[in-house]
Chain A
Amino acid sequence: GNSVTQMEGPVTLSEEAFLTINCTYTATGYPSLFWYVQYPGEGLQLLLKATKADDKGSNKGFEATYRKETTSFHLEKGSVQVSDSAVYFCARTGSARQLTFGSGTQLTVLP
């Protein structure tokens, strides 16, 4: 079936540190891939997406590249800020017109 695996959290970084959150997906079909962010007490917001192999999604300094050869879609940011503290979810499209989400990674950025 379709599944998404994210790196275990929580992740704690100092401000201006480099961020990587790993995400891999099952290689069934030709999925679109997404990263969502959830700030405390809020719903999920779309952060970025990529719809085919080698596409790079980017937004607010975050980037992720669709790697078909490694079935990965790792999220990166060169210099995190305190305001980036949130839970990040990787997701892929599935067969039943729905998204399959990873379990989420809690990021805390310390000043």
Chain B
Amino acid sequence: AQTVTQSQPEMSVQEAETVTLSCTYDTSESNYYLFWYKQPPSRQMILVIRQEAYKQQNATENRFSVNFQKAAKSFSLKISDSQLGDTAMYFCAFMILNAGGTSYGKLTFGQGTILTVHP
């Protein structure tokens, strides 16, 4: 079974500063995706960033980037130039790809980290 662990229940950061959210996972699979999702107070889940395990290059999306360490099974999210709108609960998630490269789409979520951006 796969597990995803987010060890930081809550984090806070000043506006315009940088913050890093931690995530570790455990799996015996070699072919998978990792995701960070954001859930603002509206509770709508929003995809922040995705990383394919076969790619060595870390994914980036504007102010969001990841540090993917496959051997260490670590997948941290860095938010640069934090904005008030980044205040949300952030979930790290894992999805297995089957041998054919397609997946059943089942996500395993971490416990979540509540991030508060202060003005």
State yes or no: do A and B come from one complex.
no
